[in-house]
Structure 1
Amino acid sequence: MGTTITQRDYGTLADGQVVREYRLVSAQGLTLTAINLGGIVTGLWVPDAHGASANVVLGFDNLDDYAQRNPHFGAIIGRYGNRIAGGRFELDGKRHQLAQNDGMNCLHGGKPGFGGRFWGAEIDGESLVFSLDSADGDQGFPGRLQAHVRYSLGHDERSWRIDYEATCDAPTVVNLTHHDYFNLAGHGSVMRHRLTLPASRYSEVDPQLIPLRHAPVEGTPFDFRQPTAIVARIREPHPQLQHGRGYDHNWLLDAPVDGSLRLAATLEDPASGRRMEVLTTEPALQFYSGNFLDGTLRGCGGEFYRQGDGLCLETQHSPDSPNHSASEDWPSTVLRPGETYRSSTVHRFT
């Protein structure tokens, strides 16, 4: 027996569209629920060291919260994940002005980005496939983009795999990712989780969190090459931590980019014994320590989410890449007609 998938009505949006929730259950003891609003993962139940399952992602228990006040909990992010400085970029000599939804910058594709859209959904064997048709000019991005995102659970291991694919009819930029807030304990704070990032460099940012340059992690609070509790250095008086109110930075992975999956992060919760490895084909990863959770959002189980109650590990190309010349340090995010954008990320639990 592999993965079973069931579905039910989850609610109705203000425009009358019916949102469906899909439940994927693997023979390895993993359960994932997702809705076709934003491809949002509403729950991910993972056994602990003693076999007891808990939901390890933050979220809401109703559609209205996801539709009206979601800070990207569990959502597919696009057309461009993370920030583009000034909400503009130039491509083939033409300047494109994007939505500016983060001060003067464009964040996560605008408002609404892909995480706030109604996606088509199809059960394809033992996978769930979401599809979205993004029109030319959507949030200022050029070209029509057709995106497909596949969720699959592992047969021989406890894993959740995301496969992204997109095509366009005119040159554009694409950087799709996923914005899950993880808490391997299932509740409380993630500050004592241990994080490992196989990355020797990270992106220094300005006060608006726009990357300025890539810098060595050696001797800084950004060195996670060995397992390190998040709380260990997050309050150090480092100017980069002040810019992000904690960690909200991009790390360049050491492994070469060759289209294969390689380790991007390892997260461990000593209390529950849960361990998550993130593998990806992407060149970088954004670690966000949940700095802007302020206790105003009531989540599943009635808990109010506070700073540090969840963290994000977003596999990606570097933020603001469209405003940098393509190079080994700044791989291009340009997609052209006739090409297919492909990206994969696996979350493996032990």
Structure 2
Amino acid sequence: MISLLSPLPVMTQTLKKESYGALPSGETVELYTLHNKNGMEVQFISYGGIITAIKVPDKNGKTDNVVLGFSDLEGYSKKDAEANICFGALIGRYANRIARGTFVLEDKTYHTPINLPPNTLHGGNTGFNKKLWYVQPLSGLKQATGAELTLTSADGEEGFPGKLQVKVRYILDDDNQLHIHYHATTDKPTVINLTNHSYFNLAGEGSGSVANHRLKINASLFTPTDANGIPTGQISPVAQTPFDFRAMHAIGDFLRSNDQQMLQARGYDHNWIIDGYDGKTLREAAILSDPQSGRSLTVLTTQPAMQVYTGNSLNGAYAGPSGRAYRQTDGVALETQHYPDSPNHPSFPTTTLLPGQEYDQTTVFRFQTAAP
């Protein structure tokens, strides 16, 4: 793991920057490209820190973009914002749901916007996915390209207490690993839960359903939810349920299960508790593979959990860069995170951040391609 605070050795790659358009406010948005010696590229924009493309060769050497998204800024700033899809975005101040937009911290009650009635989703009406981040290249990286994105979230913004200083680093190395490092500090007690919301399709964007992708999740437990996606407070074993991915199998194997959890979410939109959490160790959370292209993705994280979402709200209303409309299961999000609604569940790992403390989490997306 590359620490946010550690010295960095000699840079061998460069960060490409180009214009991506302007917001209605007149603020300009830039597109950045990370690349490595293997022909892999990661592209992101300063608006929302959104990853717009991850380009990876398949077993035959053909390079495809393996994440869903839009073809222009209007798609992300207008269409995505209207539908709360969050393609590729940095999510905060609190990823996932807060029940009824209410939580208590140090005996004081706070209220956040209800943008997915009756709850708050992904930080409220104007979460970090709708902010313009300041981006600068990272110097001194060895066999890697990187950028640091910074943002200041004001005290009281979207109802959250404390002035929050946030840094996120995207680093692409020559081992085809995308490192995402999250760091934050606050001047008042607050709650925080940061993640990235990329939807993966290892066969390539616009190629159709990921139901035949194979998935392994290193989790023995998950958090069941009510009909509104809020954890009930139970911690349940995955054994003998559609949530058992301890042995790799196709995502679609149990998508049509009549399990009540599956019916009310219309697929997978649940939080798995990743085995081995100690608050600091980078460990394997999941492996996703596509037999047809030969591509695989290993997810490693220091976070306690991971939300798996099969794009259940994608209904054909929007199309991606391929020109093909997106429908349910056209991508799968693997959102490393703390548990949903943790501020209202004292038994869950804490998401409270106090002055003098540092929020420091890492997730790595490691891409590999099988030989033909």
TM-score, normalisation: structure 2: 0.92
Q: Alpha-carbon deviations, 1:52-89, whole Å to 9, x = none?
A: 11000001111011000211000000000000101010
Matched, 1:250 2:271: yes
Secondary structure of 2:14 counterpart: strand
Q: Letter of the aligned partner of 1:169 in structure 2?
A: D
Question: What does residue 202 of structure 1 align with?
Answer: 222
The range that moved more, 17-26 or 253-262, is 253-262
Secondary structure of 1:322 counterpart: helix
Question: What does residue 153 of structure 1 align with?
Answer: 172
Question: What does residue 259 of structure 1 align with?
Answer: 280
Q: Which runs of 4+ in 1 moved over 2 A?
A: 1-4
**In structure 1, what is the Cα distance between the partners aligned to 2:68 and 2:48?**
15
> Which residue of 136, 145, 152 maps to 1:133?
152
**In structure 2, what is the Cα distance between the partners aligned to 1:218 and 1:278?**
22
Q: Letter of the aligned partner of 2:99 in structure 1?
A: A
Shift of residue 5, structure 1, vs aligned partner: 1.3
Question: What does residue 64 of structure 2 align with?
Answer: 54
Q: Letter of the aligned partner of 1:298 in structure 2?
A: A
Q: How do 1:1-350 residues align onto structure 2 when only pairs under 5 Å count? A: 2-70=12-80, 71-125=85-139, 126-155=145-174, 157-186=175-204, 187-212=207-232, 213-325=234-346, 327=347, 330-350=348-368
**In structure 2, what is the Cα distance between the partners aligned to 1:249 and 1:315?**
12
Q: Letter of the aligned partner of 2:148 in structure 1?
A: V
Shift of residue 258, structure 1, vs aligned partner: 4.0
- Unaligned segments of structure 1, at least 5 residues: none
Q: Alpha-carbon deviations, 1:204-261, whole Å to 9, x = none?
A: 0000010111111110011000011011111011100011100000000111324121
Q: Letter of the aligned partner of 2:162 in structure 1?
A: G
Aligned 8 A contact 2:152 2:163 in 1? yes
The range that moved more, 125-134 or 85-94, is 125-134
**In structure 2, what is the Cα distance between the partners aligned to 1:341 and 1:230?**
32
**In structure 1, what is the Cα distance between the partners aligned to 2:214 and 2:339?**
24
Secondary structure of 2:200 counterpart: coil
**In structure 2, what is the Cα distance between the partners aligned to 1:258 and 1:203?**
19
Secondary structure of 2:219 counterpart: coil
How many percent of aligned residue pairs carry the same amino acid? 48
- Unaligned segments of structure 2, at least 5 residues: 1-10, 140-144
Aligned 8 A contact 1:35 1:42 in 2? yes
TM-score, normalisation: structure 1: 0.97
Question: What does residue 4 of structure 2 align with?
Answer: none
